[in-house]
Amino acid sequence: MRFVIIGTSAAGLAGAETARRFAPQATITLISDESHLPYSRPLLTYLLGGETTREKLFLRSPEYFRDWGFEALLGTPVTRVDPQAHEVHLADGRAIPYDRLLIASGANPRMPRIPGLELEGVFTLRHLADAERLERHLAKARRVTVVGAGAVGLKAADALSHRGLKVDLLARGAQPLSKVLDPVSARLLMEALQRLGITLHLHSWPTAVVGAGGRVTALALNDGRELPTEAVIFSVGVAPRVEFLAGTELSGPDGIPVNELMGTADPDIFAAGDCVLPRHLITGEPAAFHIWPAAVAQGEVAGANLAGAGRRYDGILPMNSLSLTGCRIITGGHLQPNTPEGEVFEELDAKTGRFKRLVFDQGRLVGATLVGEVRHAGIYFQLIAQKIPVKELPCDPRSPEFHPGRLWARPLPGAA
Amino acid sequence: MKTVIVRPERCVGCLQCRLACAVEHSQTKELVAALGEAWRPVARIAVYPGGVHLSFPNKCRHCDPAPCQAVCIAGAISRNPARGTTDIDPARCINCGMCAMACPFGVLTYAPTPKAPERRAVALKCDHCPDRQAQGLPPACVEACKVGALSWGEPAQEMAAKGRSLAQAYFAASRGVAESPEPEMIRLWRQLG
Ligand SMILES: Cc1cc2nc3c(=O)[nH]c(=O)nc-3n(C[C@H](O)[C@H](O)[C@H](O)COP(=O)(O)OP(=O)(O)OC[C@H]3O[C@@H](n4cnc5c(N)ncnc54)[C@H](O)[C@@H]3O)c2cc1C
Ligand code: SF4
Ligand code: SF4
């Protein structure tokens, strides 16, 4: 058997390692257009903030490919997949044959359609090369603007302020992380941003990047203001990397549709990670949500199924952890109940800034947000994932006495 | 592989395990000196109040496969096959909180540590006291627990032993002989309340 995997990041590596366990003899070829050894994308903002080093970015050793018996084609972009011929075509003209293919090509940043994007000082942050280019530019910059207040934008802003830069952060809506945060958590987050000295501009988006002498000098905003800046980092979402599938009908614009086995429309092609459109664990609807743990979990399922193991993916439970200086937030599942019988429980400790918000629907926990104390987050997500009715639990999650002991300790015979 | 076996039905909530854990994870490993250390020693075991006179000691289970390891974006969590533990490398941890999101037992805490002095905080959890284990000693919490709620052993053997003692208790009871599986001191303590 000859397996080919496009992508050497979260999903691709998990796929390759799992496939190896199930098929010790298979030939496994890993392809990436990046020439670096596998590294952690989420660490890029921490690298920017000086909280980790370049060498700690790399998640596998230099001997990794040899140790696992993988053939690695690094620095070689894929231009086309030919499902009929069972071949992957590379930019250097080579065609790599496969019996089964795993597409784990991830995503790339989206860019707004505005003038001035070609100016020096315009950045996105997705690849190690982006971080290195940005680093060189920041050596000469004092004032930076981050466009987009999603998780990556917020972490980038935190990192930049951490290294002493003046940071402006643009949010399109009335609050940061508008898709996943309720107003109370958002207020706690905004207070933290203020303490960090980050200037948050709400309802703001750029209409043009303004420059002089080929370099960025300002951003023109929707409200007519001109915001002076020496660098702009766009973090306004991602689009799946599926250009090389053009003409194959394997992918739509939002990603590659997959079944429970992470299989695509072609029985010999599987897909996993940021490039796919998996099902939502609670609703069962296709939902794009780009997180590392999901890419790993999907990669494991797809890798096992390359080898014919028939493993199933339960679906994606959107969740994320945001840990800024002085503010921790873990949030996941539904932000609001889907039915009118649903209920939202909120508990705010104004003194400590701790906040717990639970969303219930049809007698089950379907969403959770924790600010400040996040230690028990995993327990709530277990309850969501396992879809256990609240009335069957030994203790109500709304109770102030809800903790692991209540769930796992068996009561003594006769004890109340 | 030896592990800490928890019997919550025996826990009286005295918090000795927490104290011993914090001291073991301090720099001096001595109670009085530890109190004055620059990094406040942190316990990696939590004790939660349960039902009446019932407490629950909660610590890392060193799951295999470990959900926390699968989600760690920094490659900071690894399995130590020789010791059977999932270990966190404080030098790699970037305090992102992903592991708290994944741990189904809620056992991770985040605090500064002398093992990574340049960091504001890192993820901390039970490590089965490697320094003590190297000297042939059980983890500090086990040694501190005087009521047998925490013990150090092979899960399979302990389960077999528990099965035997339950069977004996059952036969003893069916012969009409009074049998108390509850140690005397716990019974007395419970009477106090
Ligand atoms: C700055 C930043 C911070 C983040 N922080 C977090 C976080 O804290 N928590 C979290 O859960 N998620 C975070 N994410 C998201 C997370 O990084 C992604 O969900 C994850 O990387 C997806 O993994 P993947 O394997 O699907 O794809 P990717 O990581 O995008 O990897 C795609 C792979 O495919 C290769 N490839 C793609 N196209 C081609 C081609 N045509 N030819 C050859 N090779 C190709 C690439 O080189 C790469 O190896 C962050 C992302 C960024 C950018
Ligand atoms: S931290 Fe939690 S998930 Fe990780 S090994 Fe320990 S108990 Fe398991
Ligand atoms: S907090 Fe540390 S150990 Fe936990 S997931 Fe993040 S980097 Fe890994």
ipTM at complex level: 0.92
pLDDT at A404: 79
Q: Is the CB of B107 under 6 A from ligand 3?
A: no
pLDDT in tens, A111-128: 999 999 999 999 999 999
Determine how many CB atoms are found less than 10 A away from the CB of residue A236.
19
Residue of B nearest to A380 (CA): B104
Structure-token pair, residue A49: 């903030």
pLDDT over 70 (residue B183): yes
Share of chain B above pLDDT 70, in %: 91
A56/B56 touch (CB, cutoff 8 Å), yes or no: no
Nearest to B98 among A51, A293, A410 (CB): A293
B92/A330 touch (CB, cutoff 8 Å), yes or no: no
Number of the ligand 2 atom closest to the C-alpha atom of B59: 7
3-state helix, strand, coil in chain B (%, to 5): 35, 15, 50
Task: Name the β-bridge partners of A4.
Answer: A29, A101
A52–B contact, CB cutoff 8 A: yes
A59–B contact, CB cutoff 8 A: yes
Residues of chain A below pLDDT 70: 408-416
Structure-token pair, residue A297: 């979990």
Distance to chain A for B119, nearest Cα, Å: 8
Best mutation target, B7, B15, B48, to test chain A (most A CBs within 10 A): B48
CB of A328 closer than 8 Å to CB of A374: yes
A114–B contact, CB cutoff 8 A: no
Task: Name the β-bridge partners of A355.
Answer: A348, A371
pLDDT at B176: 55
Nearest to A296 among B8, B54, B70 (CB): B70
pLDDT at A413: 45
A412/B9 touch (CB, cutoff 8 Å), yes or no: yes
pLDDT over 90 (residue B172): no
A413–B contact, CB cutoff 8 A: no
Higher pLDDT, A10 or B167: A10
A405–B contact, CB cutoff 8 A: yes
Segment holding A261, helix H or strand E: none
B70/A42 touch (CB, cutoff 8 Å), yes or no: no
All residues of chain A having their beta carbon less than 8 Å from the beta carbon of residue B98 are: 292-293, 321
Q: Is the CB of A221 under 6 A from ligand 1?
A: no
Indicate the pTM of the whole model: 0.92
Determine how many CB atoms are found less than 10 A away from the CB of residue B83.
17
pLDDT over 80 (residue B54): no
Residue of A nearest to B89 (CA): A56
Q: Is the CB of B76 under 6 A from ligand 3?
A: yes
Q: Is the CB of A368 under 6 A from ligand 1?
A: no
Q: Any long-range contacts for A240-245 (C-beta under 8 Å, 24+ apart)?
A: A240/A105, A240/A106, A240/A107, A240/A274, A240/A275, A240/A276, A240/A288, A241/A105, A241/A106, A241/A107, A241/A108, A241/A274, A241/A275, A242/A103, A242/A105, A242/A275, A244/A6, A244/A78, A244/A79, A244/A80, A244/A81, A244/A105, A245/A81, A245/A103
CA of A54 to the centre of ligand 2 (A): 27
Interfacial B residues in 142-161 facing A (CB < 8 Å): none
- pLDDT confidence tier of residue B190, bands split at 50, 70 and 90: confident
Rounded Cα distance between B7 and B57, Å, is 8
Residue of A nearest to B55 (CA): A405
Structure-token pair, residue B164: 């035997």
pLDDT over 90 (residue B159): no
All residues of chain B having their beta carbon less than 8 Å from the beta carbon of residue A46 are: 74, 94, 96
pLDDT (average), residues B54-75: 93
Q: Is the CB of B125 under 6 A from ligand 2?
A: yes
